[in-house]
Amino acid sequence: MQLSCINVSTMIKLTLQKPDTLGALASMLCVIHCLATPLIFIAHTCSIGGYETSPSWWRNLDYIFLIISFLAVTRSVKNTSKNFMKPALWLSWVTLFLLIINEKIQLVSLPEILTYVAALSLAVFHIYNMKYCQCKTNKCCTHNG
C-alpha cells in the first residue's frame, strides 16, 4: 500500500468544488510557513553550529503555495456573486506573488510583515467569499458577464 500526501485528483476536485476553502487553507499555511522559517532555522543553526542554508524543499514551498492559491483564486472569481471580490482576490494574490518573488531575488528590501499581511488578506477574502458571496443560481451576476 502506497501512501501519498496529496492525491492530484483530490486536489483538482477540491479546487473545483471548494476553491475558497483551498485558498484560505493555502494562505494560512503560507503564513505559518513564513512564521516558522526563522524559528526552525535558528534552532537548526544553533544545534548544528553554523549550517545556515535551508533545504530546497522548504524554500520551494513558497512556489507551491502560490500555485495552489492561483488555482483557488481563478476558480473563486468565477463563482463569486459580488463583483468587488474579483479585484480584491486578484490584488491580494498579485501582491503576495510580487512580495514572494521580490524576497527570492532580493530586488528591494521590504519588511516581512508585508508578506504576512498579503497572505492573511488573501485568506480573509477567501473566507468572506465563501461565507457571503456564493452564487445560489446560474443567474448570478458574475455568470451574466
The answer for residues whose C-beta is within 8 angstroms of residue 103's C-beta and 6 or more apart is: 62, 110, 115
10-55 per-position pLDDT tens digit: 555 555 566 777 777 777 777 776 666 666 655 555 545 545 566 6
Q: Over pLDDT 70: what percentage of the chain?
A: 61
Extract the C-alpha cell encoding 81: 456573486
Specify the pLDDT at position 1: 38
Domain residue limits, the chain: 19-132
The model's pTM: 0.65
- Cβ atoms of 80 and 133 within 8 Å: the answer is yes
**Cα 108 to chain center, whole Å?**
22
Strand partners, 80: 134
